[in-house]
Amino acid sequence: MDYAIPADRVVITVAQTGAITNKSLNPNVPEQPAEIAQSAYDCFNEGASIVHIHARDPQGENTSELSIFEDIHGRIRDKCDIIIQDSTGGGPNLTQEQRINCLGASPDMASLNMGSMMRVAGPYKGVPFSNMPDEIDWFVEQITQRGIKPEMEVYSHAMLQEVRRLIKEGRVTKPYYINIVLGMRYQGAEPATPKTLTSMVDNLPPDSIFNCTGVGSAQTPLATMAMIMGGCVRVGLEDNIYYAKGELAQSNAQLVAKVVRIARELGKQPATPAETRQYLGLPPAKA
């Protein structure tokens, strides 16, 4: 079976908030549930079909509080049928147990980080982003036993090895949805270059659908390249706070609109959430 996305469509994920970006870096980062939901709706109207969610407490700190995830989901689902993908990466202040709390809010998808890296800058310098093989097994079990689709985030060629292992052990089902994240400033992450993306795409397991996340100034160039290669793309303030060099983005929707303009020039329309569900093998949205 061929799991390719139709050539005239592109699946766009918006990662709106993240764990590191905040209002002091860009005042337009949505942090509270009402802001996150309004931003998701604006991005849906621009063409995003998946929203990647991190939650913050009222003080703006990363939180795993289930009621906050439920509040965010409820507000988004009141507005539109965009696919909800929660982060189990969470943030550096959260334990592994806390990182899966969001699954209780029944997202459609959840991120699954496919290896460990070391934070080398900022307040969490020296704190590992730990995703050891047995930890990955635990996360994937927690995700899939709830009927949630894992979005496997890989930051290096080595992490594709973990993807192959999960496939071999029957822990994930087709189509395998793999997010190639390039340009993270972590030890162990690969750079956001065209050659790295090409090589990683060449090394994907069969029956995969890939998404590309270019971090920082690589967001637009790598998204463009991924679209040409038939991939899905992720944009948003989690990964990049600028619209152009030295110019902060005004909103997540502005970044989605930018990639949609490029997509249209390439002969592609943004996939709707219903189309995306079909491509990724997700069940239809609940009425």
**Residue 65 and residue 90 in contact, taking contact as beta carbons nearer than 8 Å:** no
Per-residue contact string for residues 219-238; x = within reach of ligand KMH by CB under 6 A? -------------------x
Q: Rule CB under 6 A: which of 142-181 touch ligand KMH? A: 153, 181
User: Using alpha carbons only, what angle is made at residue 239 by residues 63 and 19, rounded to the nearest 5 degrees?
Assistant: 15
For Zn ion, the closer of residues 219 and 268 by Cβ is 219
Of 43, 73, 239, 258, the one binding ligand KMH (CB under 6 A) is: 239
Task: Look at residues 23, 74, 33 and name the one whose alpha carbon lies nearest to residue 249.
Answer: 23
Distance CA 93, CA 14 (A): 23
181 binds, options Zn ion, ligand KMH, none, Cβ within 5 to 8 A by partner type: ligand KMH
184 binds, options ligand KMH, Zn ion, none, Cβ within 5 to 8 A by partner type: ligand KMH
For ligand KMH, the closer of residues 20 and 268 by Cβ is 20
Q: Rule CB under 6 A: which of 89-118 touch ligand KMH? A: 89, 111, 113
Distance CA 58, CA 241 (A): 21
Supply the angle between the helices 252-265 and 219-228 in degrees, to the nearest 10. Answer: 40
**Residue 117 and residue 187 in contact, taking contact as beta carbons nearer than 8 Å:** yes
Give the total of residues touching ligand KMH (CB under 6 A). Answer: 13
Scanning 83-91, 166-174, 192-200, 266-274 for contacts with ligand KMH by CB under 6 A, the matching segment is 83-91
Strand locations in 197-271 (E): 208-214, 232-235, 242-244, 247-248, 269-270
Residue 54 beta carbon to ligand KMH: minimum distance, rounded to whole angstroms? 6
Task: Look at residues 241, 200, 284, 275 and name the one whose alpha carbon lies nearest to residue 11.
Answer: 275
Q: Rule CB under 6 A: which of 15-54 touch ligand KMH? A: 18
Per-residue contact string for residues 251-280; x = within reach of ligand KMH by CB under 6 A? ------------------------------
Q: Are strands 128-129 and 117-119 parallel, antiparallel or unpaired?
A: antiparallel
User: Nearest to Zn ion by Cβ — which residue?
Assistant: 87
Task: Give the burial class of 97: count Cβ atoms within 10 A of its Cβ; 0-12 exposed, 13-18 middle, 19 or more buried.
Answer: exposed
Residues of the shown chain interacting with ligand KMH in the complex, contacts defined by CB under 6 A: 18, 87-89, 111, 113, 153, 181, 184, 213, 215, 238-239
